[in-house]
Structures are given as C-alpha cells and as structure tokens.
Chain A
C-alpha cells in the first residue's frame, strides 16, 4: 500500500509540475478567449441578425431612426399587428415564385453530386492505382483546370451553346458544373484512394473478380467516408454556384442564387427588398443544417489536401 503510493507520487509529481508550467497566465487566457469570442460574433452575428430581420418589415430592418427598431419591431407591429411577419417569405415564395428556383436548385444539386461522384470515384481510383507517368500529367492538368476562373470558361461556352441551341436548359448546366467540379473531385478522391491499401483490391482480383468488380465490391464499401466528404463539396459547389447558373439558364430555369440576384434588380426599386432578404435566409437555412450534421466531414475534407500533401 505504502510503496504504491510512493511510486504514484513519484509518477505524479513531475506531471503536476509540468502542468503548472503549461498552465497559462490569466491575461493570456482572457485574451485568447476574448479573441475567439469576437471572431464567433463576427462570423455568426450577420446571419442571425438577417434571419431575425427577415420576419420584420422593411421600415424596421432598414430603420431610418434607430437600429433597435429591428429588434423590437415597432413598425412591424404597427403595419401588421404582430411582432413577426411572414410577408417577406410570402412575397418571395409565392408572388415571385421562389419555389420554382428551389426545385431547380434541388434538381441541379442532386444530379451534379451523383454524376460528379460516379465519374470522380472511377477516375480517382484509376489515378491512384496506375503507376504510369501520365497519371501525373492528368493530375497537373486537373490542377490547372481547377484554377481557371469559371467566368472565363462560361465566356467560351456561350456562343457555341447558342449555336447548338442547348443554351438555357438544366441538363446543360448540370454537365457543365460536373465538368468544372471534376478536377477537385479527382484530386480529393485520388488522395482518399491512395490511403486504402492496394492489397484489398488485389486480393479480390486474385479471388477472381475483374478490376471493376474489385472496385465496386471491395474498395467502394470502405471508401464511404471519402465519398461522403467529396460529395459534400460537390453539393456545395452546385448549390453555391452563381457564375455558371446566372449565365447559362433562362429566367424560368434559374436556380436560387441567380434568382436572388435578379430579385435585387427588380424588387429593390419597388421597395420589396424584404423579399430578397427572405429568399436569402431561405437559401442559407439548408446550409446551416448541412454544417450541423456534417461538420466533421467538412473539416476533414478541407484538411485532406493540406495534411497529406
């Protein structure tokens, strides 16, 4: 009994001393916590503020007298009789037919994500398993393509698409977004596949699988984390795109982001800016949920390229 405590004390003593050496002085803790708190406010407050304000009338959210009006909702109470109003949402979703844009966005994001992942897993797998020199050149080419500003590509599409008569349709936009997304998807999945041991698919092939069967039955089941992470970023690219969708789609086929931009032109003049505010909040809400559920995957995806490379 006694000698165990003595041994324990010996073990604990240096550790305790070290902890006191690493314990931070109080001002430093205050400084770092304060700084992080400031950052969190800067990052989150604009969104919370806009979400709150979207349930008010314009005279409150853009108050000439006092910004506190947006909190208390003086004008909202006077104009609608209640402290919160759905007018902005009604105007945007029903009057301006924002629901159409929401459906278009759903179609575009769904197909872009699935097609990107299908093409990307096949290509990424091939790049990770082939030892030939040309894999390097394909990856380099993808890197250059990744850096191309999207608007320069769009300026290349516009005239040919007009001539071919395929401008303005959703499928055209979907395949364009898939192609723009490919370089990133390839790089990311390529690095995920590299982390899966070659033995896995080789032993499957020894057991009589073809290369494709080995890929589908042995590799893909262990690849789900990588596929989900990459899929998230494909989703975000399609969901967030403004350049391609605003220039390649007709007004009735528009997705949410270009639709919101067109609100600004037409409704700001008519004093219906709250429609745009409501639409913006509607577009942010799904992203909010997405981060809530997939925070870990997003973080691991952002760091995948950095930590391995």
Chain B
C-alpha cells in the first residue's frame, strides 16, 4: 500500500489517538511542573462602632485575573514530585533515621499517601493476577469435561461478573457483604461475632477487594483457556495415553505446556488492567483502608472544591512510569514476534 493511501486510511484513528491520548500525556507532564497560585491577600480596614480592625482577605478579583493569565499556576519545577503527598524523600529520610528495623521502616513509610497507594496497587496487581490464572484454568478444565448441552448455559453465567461494569459489580457484592446483607450476616453467624464487618478492618477490606478482583477477571482467563483447550493436539494427547501417562500427568505434561503462551497473554493483560484498579475502591467505599494510584488521582481531582491539578498530574506521571515498567516485557515480546513474521 502506498504511503499516501495508508496515511489517508489511518488518519482519523491516528488523529483521535494523538489528540486525546498522546497530547493529554504531554499536558499531564506540563501540569505537574506547576502549582496552584498562592492566595493574594489584601488588607481591609473594617471600622465599626468599637473602633477599626484590619483584616486580611483573599483578593478574589486579582486571583481571577491571575488564573486567567496563567491557568496552570506558577512554576514549581519538580517540587510537587518530592512533596509529602508524592515521593516524600525528605520524610522517607527522616523515617529511615528514626527506625531501626526494616519492618518498622516499611510500616511507617506505608503511612505516606503515595506509598500507601503504591503498596495496595502492587499488592492487588501481583496477588489477583496469579489467582485469576489458576481459577480460570480450573474452571476451563471443569467446563471442558461437561456434556455439550451444559456448556452454553455455564459459559453464559460465567461471563456475567466480567461483562458487568466493575463499579456496579462491586456495588452488588458490597450490598451483599453489608452486615445486614446475606453474606455479611451469614459470616457473622458462622464466626459467632455480631460485630464482624468486612468494611472495618484494613486487612479484611484488602481481602474483599482481592476476592472481588479474582471474581471479576476469572471469566476472562476461563474463556481464553477454554478456547485454548479445544486446540490441544489430539495426537500428542493420545501418545501420552499410550505411553501410560496418568490423568494428572497428561494435564501436567501435555495440556499446560500447550497452554503456556496463553498464560503469558492473560498475565500481561491482567497486569495492565489490575494496575489501574480504581472502580472497586469506589464501589466498596474502601478509600479509608485501601487506595490505589488511580484513586489518588481521582480524589485529587474530585475530592476538594477546586481540583488539585498539579498533584493529580504528578501522580499521573509516576503512574505512567509504572505502566511503562510493567509493559517492557510485552514490548520486547511484540518486537520479537514482529521480527519473526517480517
């Protein structure tokens, strides 16, 4: 295809991506280098019946003018990155000096908002992903053994947790684990503890979110593995049988090696998707005990009266760096694939 035709065909798509994906990344980097204007104060003299008092007030008019001139705020360099809300090197240094053991150090460092969010995001990503793969694989093996008639309905119901909007799916579960909901009340009866609440303790909140994550993503892994199982070569399977392989050995030495590329695929997709975990935290109202990087940005933009653009932008840039680190293996793999094909 000549370059000209190619560029005409790709133009709308490329333009949309450049304008609304690439440019915002630039905008985020730019915004992160600025910070909100300082309040301009004026002294106002109030004279009443009991004498005059001077009062300092925000000069709204001057502020509005300043904002109109420089909407992004004043230059701050990398200041936002290093402040207490983000990388907080100074605080980390203090904590390092103060604490004696690694445990103590980590414990205190994890109280800083950025590291708290990073900790949860990484924990979520690296705990949910393997469980999704294992559960998905087990379901696929189970469904594959079912009679054909039952497969359709089972797949239908299996798709539900994945297709339903994460926010709505987490709300549905949230209502069920409420202490007055069916799961919450049952757990209280089982453990004989009428005050037990999955929402109260940080550990239980984390576990709830992890369980939600596995429940939400397992169907994806299941469907991919299930499709893969249909293609397991019959000859290899039969020769394994002839050689006297037991059922477990067949799975271990024929099925799993054959499905390995799919495991890699699911893992990469899941790493990308789980790293941006956000909606479940809103759905489960879990922000007190668990925040993710995405949630930090959201609350910077939504939590206050005026959005904190600089702070949100700095977190965004740091998150993007995290994404790039996660993606490196995928990029290398794609590069190899492309060269092999070419």
Contacts and interface: CB of A to CB of B under 8 A. Distances in A.
Interface string B168-191: 110111011010111001100000
Contacts of B89: none
B154 A40 contact: yes
Contacts of A215: 9
Nearest to A181: B16
A4 interface: no
A132 B160 CA distance: 41
B278 interface: yes
B134 interface: no
A169 interface: no
B255 interface: no
A307 interface: yes
A180 B327 CA distance: 18
B324 A50 contact: no
A29 interface: yes
Interface stretch (A84-92, A96-104, A275-283): A275-283
B21 interface: yes
B122 interface: no
Contact of A156 (B27, B247, B324): B27
Given A39-B142, A299-B223, A153 B20 contact: yes
Contacts of B227: 299, 302-303, 306-307
Given A50-B175, A182-B13, A280-B171, A306 B20 contact: no
- Main SS class of interface, B: helix
A143 B31 contact: no
Nearest to B211: A42
Interface residues of A, number: 105
Contacts of B241: 18, 21-22
B77 to A, nearest CB: 18
Nearest to A300: B227
A155 B160 CA distance: 31
A182 B11 CA distance: 12
Interface in B85-128: none
A136 B338 contact: yes
Interface in B178-220: 178, 180-182, 185-186, 215, 218-220
A118 B276 CA distance: 28
Nearest to B189: A67
B76 interface: no
Nearest to B28: A156
Interface string B319-341: 11001101100110011011000
Contacts of B301: 154-155, 158, 247
Contact of A122 (B13, B154, B261, B285): B13
B148 interface: no
B52 interface: no
Given A156-B31, A242-B166, A247 B14 contact: no
Interface stretch (B41-49, B56-64, B308-316): B308-316
B134 to A, nearest CB: 12
B1 A211 contact: yes
Contacts of B238: 18
Interface string A135-150: 0101111111111111
B164 interface: yes
Contacts of B130: none
Contacts of B66: none
Given A21-B241, A287-B163, A156 B316 contact: yes
Given A130-B6, A149-B275, A183 B139 contact: no
B307 interface: yes
A152 interface: yes
B89 to A, nearest CB: 22
A30 to B, nearest CB: 11
Contacts of B323: 144, 147-149
Given A49-B176, A62-B180, A239-B165, A179 B20 contact: yes
Interface string B276-307: 10110010010000000110011011100001
B76 to A, nearest CB: 15
Contact of B186 (A63, A67, A127, A157): A67
A140 B331 contact: yes
Given A33-B146, A126-B10, A140-B334, A153 B16 contact: no
Contact of A247 (B145, B224, B302): B302
Contacts of A160: 27
27 contacts: A36-B143, A39-B158, A44-B160, A46-B169, A50-B175, A62-B181, A123-B13, A139-B334, A141-B17, A152-B25, A152-B316, A152-B317, A153-B28, A154-B24, A156-B26, A156-B31, A242-B166, A243-B298, A246-B302, A264-B171, A284-B168, A290-B163, A302-B220, A306-B261, A307-B224, A307-B231, A307-B262
